[in-house]
Amino acid sequence: MNYKSIIIFAMALSLVACNNEKKEETKKEGGMPAMGMGMGMMNPMETVEISKTNPLVMLKLAGELKPDQQTELFAKVNSYVKSIRVDIGDKVSAGQVLVVLEAPEIQSQVASAKAKLEAQQAIYLSTKATYDRTMKANETQGAIAKDALDQIKARMLSDEAQLNAAKSAYNEIRDVNNYLVIKAPFSGTITSRNVDLGAFVTPMNKEPLLVVENNSKLRLNLSVPEANTPYIKLGDTIRFHVRSQPQEKYVALVSRKSGSLDLKLRSEKIEADFINKNNALKPYMIAEAVIPLQNSEPTFFVPKSAVVESGMGVYVIRVENGKTKNVPVSKGRVMPEQVEVFGDLNEGDKILKMGSEEVQEGTEVPNKPHNSDNDKK
């Protein structure tokens, strides 16, 4: 019996010990972490003093490379493809014949207009010769009646008008006939061919017969956010690389700015020219560009956390006479931890490091705000 009593007593002690351990754990979970969190939290009323600086901010943008020149060549008249003298990848020179078309009805009209022109020229020359002889004979006053002279002159003027009309008709149909020979508008490369020998083509074709591109110079197209457009000037240098060649670095010069903002993106389109030596890059490659943004004078840069964006607008919270005051600002250049702001700010102003729309304007700020670092000491 004594042995059993000892066992029961030992079990009771074990149960009491377990209960005490659970209470200790519960106490730790309920109270200690809250203290720890309080020690690690940033003071919401911590302030920073602002001053003007002029750092070089690097803007990273994705862009696209486009050919300096590109044109799609279509047939201008209904015709058939007689010969194709180039193919994809061929280098061509300005004025080089690329495709020859044929249209029998047009060629027949050209021959007819030419014959009519030659006939009208003969008629006019005959009438002009008659007029010249008559005028010479009339050098003796009264040799030829005035009515006869007027009739001869009117006939000559009529024939001259008909000759001019024949010339215009011939030139017009000849120009149409010239459309049957398609030439390269500039030097470049054939990048697309969508036609075969004997095919019937019209100006209404959806696809062009050929596409010619000048890839010796490429244009880097970028869309620059509105806040950054004032810092980019013509002639500025842009460094970039393409995703397929991340190890290679290239340089382009800003050559054109659109001068207007895109309605949807609120950005300005800029183009930077790049001389494509050895055709190292291809049109429509995606480029990762880095643009240096340097202001002409120092400005205010504040922590990103200090800027509040709400329904009331964009502002920072300045401390004046121990109370908060909302100061509207507009944002400029952006750095990893800071953002440029413009507004009614002065050197030495103190603003809340952690801006929040929950901080009401006029809230009192302690002279010596609680600092979490001191608690740790």
Per-residue pLDDT of the chain (377 residues; tens, 9 = 90+): 444 444 444 454 454 454 545 444 444 444 433 333 443 456 778 899 999 998 889 999 999 999 999 999 999 888 899 999 999 999 999 999 999 998 877 777 777 778 887 888 888 888 888 888 777 777 666 667 777 777 888 888 888 888 888 888 777 777 777 888 999 999 999 999 999 999 999 999 899 999 999 999 999 999 999 889 988 999 999 999 998 898 999 999 999 999 999 888 889 999 999 999 888 899 999 999 999 998 888 999 999 999 999 888 999 999 998 899 999 999 988 888 999 999 999 999 999 999 988 888 888 888 754 444 434 43
* Same domain? 264 vs 225: yes
Residues 89 and 110 in one domain: no
Q: Pick from 128, 162, 179: which residue ends a domain?
A: 179
CB-based contact 48:303 (threshold 8 Å): yes
Q: What is the CA radius of gyration of the chain?
A: 43
> Please, where are the H alpha helices in the chain?
2-40, 104-137, 146-178, 372-376
Residues 199, 268: one domain?
A: no
What torsion, rounded to 10 degrees, do the Cα atoms 319, 320, 325, 328 define? -90
Q: Are 56 and 292 in contact (CB under 8 A)?
A: yes
pLDDT tens sequence across 198-246: 999 999 989 999 999 999 999 999 999 988 998 899 999 999 999 889 8
Give exposure, 264-275, as e/b (b: 16+ Cβ within 10 Å): eeebbbbbbebe
Give residue-wise pLDDT tens across range 99-112.
Answer: 999 887 777 777 77
Which residue bears the tokens 């990103």? 304
Report yes or no on 239 lying in a domain. yes
Distance in angstroms (rounded) separating the CA atoms of residues 34 and 39: 9
Domain harbouring 146, CATH code? 1.10.287
Answer yes or no: is 29 within a domain.
no
List of long-range contacts for 142-146, beta carbons under 8 Å, 24+ apart: none
| DSSP strand pairing (210-225 vs 267-275) | antiparallel
Residues 108 and 167 in one domain: yes
- Tell which residue, 122, 123, 75, has the closest CA to residue 100: 75
Q: 251: closest CA among 214, 282, 220, 224?
A: 220
| Same domain, residue pair 152 and 220 | no
Residues 199 and 79 in one domain: yes
Domain boundary among 276, 293, 310: 293
Question: Is residue 343 domain-resident?
Answer: no
Query: What residues does 64 pair with on adjacent strands?
Result: 221, 286
**Smallest Cα–Cα separation from 325: which of 47, 36, 9, 5?**
47
43 lies in some domain: no
In a domain, 267, yes or no: yes
Q: Is position 82 within any domain?
A: yes
Query: What pLDDT score was predicted for residue 156?
Result: 83
Number of domains in the chain: 3
pLDDT at 351: 93
Tell me which residue of 225, 214, 346, 226 sits closest to 273, measured CA to CA: 214
249 and 155 inside one domain: no
Crossing angle of helices 104-137/146-178, nearest 10°?
Answer: 160
Domain boundary among 179, 196, 226: 179
User: pLDDT value at position 329?
Assistant: 94
| 365, part of any domain | no
Quick one: pLDDT at residue 75?
A: 92
Closest CA to 251 of 224, 282, 278, 277: 277
Structural domain that includes position 198: 75-101+186-208
The pLDDT value recorded for residue 4 is 47
CA–CA distance, 271 with 269 (Å, rounded to integer): 7
- Produce one character per residue of 152-185: b if its CB has 16 or more CB atoms within 10 Å, e if not: beeebeebeeebeebeebbeebeeebeebebebe
* 330 in a structural domain: no
